[in-house]
Structure 1
Amino acid sequence: MVTPLKQPIVFELEGFDVPTGYGPFLFFLALFAYIVVLLGNGIVVSIIVMDKTLHRPMFVMVCHLVVCDLLGATAVLPRLMMHFLMGQKRIAYIPAITQGFCVHTYGVAVQTILGAMAYDRYVAVCDPLRYHAIMTSARLHALCALAWILALLLIAVLFSFHMNVLLCGQTIQHVYCSNRSILNLACAPTPMSNIYGLTMTWSVSTGIFIIIAFSYIRILSASVKQGRADRTVRTKAFQTCTPHLVVYVLYEIASLIIIVSLRFPSVTQNIRKFFSILFIIIPPAINPIIYGLVSKDLRASIIKHFSLHVCLKH
């Protein structure tokens, strides 16, 4: 008979199988990735806050997406750096639950925020004359709050299944803590958590996909119709919507890579863990570049502020 663990529980993260002498190199690699995430997203938020011409619904939602990206990266990368540099694998129960909660919130909030952004782009292109009447400040903030509340509630329910679960193991077979990796240590099966987790994941992913697909089908139809009369209208619509669509596709590709890697037994544990880390690093690192390069207004504002800064220094 397996004996349940006594409180306080301290877990041991399996982590990566790091070859001797490669720890410091991997530490600096993770540190560089974290700096890129912080710097890129920090610049985007700072420019949007400073430039009043960017205080528009699309860029307000970009700020919410930045907060979401920073939540995911900060939940994982600092502890991963400690693992590489000092071999630190131990994590207490509360920090483990907190890390898992943040990682899952990141995964769901990204989708809900992108769903809200799709609605904003739909109104902007398909009903431009009534855009400001529809996307009022109150409605904008309510939409963003709804995206966060939905994500937090769904994940709170997911982690509520941990309350009465007895754990009989201490080694988490992952690089970071997640709902499934912790419940794998339970003394007995947890079918309700499995059913809820799968249902929630499927419902959110499918629901957001339908919202975005519907929005872009309508946007494409409206752009083609308007473009017949004025080609610049169609060009502007594509420029406005491209960053959002690229970011959504990027997240979906990152998620798909993780799912596919889990389905092939030939893929080693280190490779699977590496893919799961990429999901935390790549989108947050690339998103600022996507919005900075593709969004004409944001790109112009970044260039203006940096040019002004250089001129003041000289």
Structure 2
Amino acid sequence: MLIFNHSSFMTFTLMGIPGLELQHLWLSLPFSSMFLAILIGNGVILFLVATDPTLHTPMYLLLSLLMAADLVSTLSLMPKLLCLFWFNDRNIAASACFTQMFFIHGASVIRSALLVAMAFDRYVAVCEPLRYNTILSHSLVRCLGLVALAKGVILILPMPLLLQRLTFCHMVIPHTYCDHMAVVKMACDHTRPNRIYGLSVVLLVVGLDLLLISFSYALILKAVVHLNSQDATCKALNTCSAHFFVILVTYVPALFSSLIHRIGHNIPPHAHILLANLYLLLPSMLNPIIYGIKMMEIRDKVTKCLCKGIASAVGPGNKSVSK
């Protein structure tokens, strides 16, 4: 048995999707389409928020931070995954593997923390509308963003550091990326501290963040119930609808994937891996669509940009025809 204990010289091999290796090229089509949609969707919203002063409000600033976290997660995952699918490039240095792990899991923690901040934003918008600008100042939004960043770094940084102390007996990872638990299973050392820490992070992030989000929405529903007007009730619920759908898109696939990973022993390995990829990519792809449909400001800005682009492209042709 080969034993590897110098992480700086190790190279892991990513298997891809076990059982579907011959279909990797075909699988690259939906994955590359999702990658393109994520880049365009998140990039458009980031560009609009950055260039339009009317969108420099707490809600859209937090939304732009969420889009940035989605882009970091996607850009940490997709280049290596597409190289694996297109060129069968399976090797990844241990240092690159641990770096990818840090950015993918760190971005997921930051995304979850930002959803908590956005739940607080929706609570203030519904329950304290007259004090909205006073409570959610730009300085508070910056603090919320820094807290989310610090949470991601502090919670995830120990994962690769703890892995570096391990001795590895297996170097072939049955996954498309360096997932923490997938790498832990490659070790032949005592991995209980790694497993306990990984589970603790999941419970702390998902459990605590969902608890805080649920508490915010309980207060929102309590305030909505006491509204006298049906129009006011619909308006209050519509204010929260985009954020609520984003929560569902983010947490439901993640919880389902985690549940399948732990109790779905009869489910084929490729189903586990596909779910693990989808729960990372689906929120990043759907979040811009949800906010683009539900938020009038975003929808109007995108429509105006498209109209200007079409007009500028068609304009010179019309002039030449008229001549």
TM-score of the superposition, structure 1-length normalised?
A: 0.93
Inter-partner Cα distance in structure 2 for 1:19 and 1:175? 11
Partner of 1:247: 246
The alpha-carbon deviation at position 203 of structure 1 amounts to 1.6
**Which amino acid is the alignment partner of residue 201 of structure 2?**
M
Inter-partner Cα distance in structure 2 for 1:23 and 1:202? 33
Inter-partner Cα distance in structure 2 for 1:90 and 1:37? 26
- Local SS of the residue matching 1:153: helix
Calculate the aligned-residue CA RMSD, in Å: 1.8
Q: How many residues are treated as equivalent by the alignment?
A: 311
- Local SS of the residue matching 1:174: coil
The answer on whether the counterparts of 1:113 and 1:148 sit within 8 Å (CA) in structure 2 is no
Partner of 2:58: 57
Partner of 1:220: 221
The alpha-carbon deviation at position 150 of structure 1 amounts to 0.8
The alpha-carbon deviation at position 223 of structure 1 amounts to 2.2
Inter-partner Cα distance in structure 2 for 1:224 and 1:161? 49
The answer on whether the counterparts of 2:20 and 2:270 sit within 8 Å (CA) in structure 1 is no
Inter-partner Cα distance in structure 1 for 2:12 and 2:21? 22
Identity %: 28
Partner of 1:308: 308
Inter-partner Cα distance in structure 2 for 1:236 and 1:260? 36
**Which amino acid is the alignment partner of residue 147 of structure 2?**
L
Please tell me whether residue 259 in structure 1 is matched to residue 276 in structure 2.
no
Partner of 1:278: 278
Change (3 A) 1:195 1:245: same
Partner of 1:138: 139
Gaps of 5+ in 2: 316-323
Gaps of 5+ in 1: none
- Local SS of the residue matching 2:158: helix
The alpha-carbon deviation at position 49 of structure 1 amounts to 1.9
The answer on whether the counterparts of 1:2 and 1:187 sit within 8 Å (CA) in structure 2 is no
Partner of 1:68: 69
Question: Could you list the runs of 4 or more consecutive aligned residues of structure 1 that deviate by over 6 angstroms after TM superposition?
Answer: none
Inter-partner Cα distance in structure 2 for 1:305 and 1:233? 32
Answer with 261-270 or 289-298: which moved more.
261-270
Please tell me whether residue 34 in structure 1 is matched to residue 35 in structure 2.
yes
The answer on whether the counterparts of 1:69 and 1:106 sit within 8 Å (CA) in structure 2 is yes
- Which deviations, in whole Å up to 9, do the C-alpha atoms of 1:66-91 show, x marking residues without a partner? 11111111111111111111111111
- Local SS of the residue matching 2:163: coil
Inter-partner Cα distance in structure 2 for 1:159 and 1:35? 29
The alpha-carbon deviation at position 168 of structure 1 amounts to 2.5
Inter-partner Cα distance in structure 2 for 1:79 and 1:2? 26
Partner of 1:45: 46
Answer with 133-142 or 5-14: which moved more.
5-14
Change (3 A) 1:205 1:24: closer
The answer on whether the counterparts of 1:168 and 1:187 sit within 8 Å (CA) in structure 2 is yes
**Which amino acid is the alignment partner of residue 269 of structure 1?**
P
The alpha-carbon deviation at position 19 of structure 1 amounts to 5.4
Inter-partner Cα distance in structure 2 for 1:133 and 1:165? 50
- Which deviations, in whole Å up to 9, do the C-alpha atoms of 1:275-312 show, x marking residues without a partner? 11111221111111100001122212222222233334
- Which deviations, in whole Å up to 9, do the C-alpha atoms of 1:254-292 show, x marking residues without a partner? 112212322222211111111111112211111111000
Inter-partner Cα distance in structure 1 for 2:202 and 2:27? 32
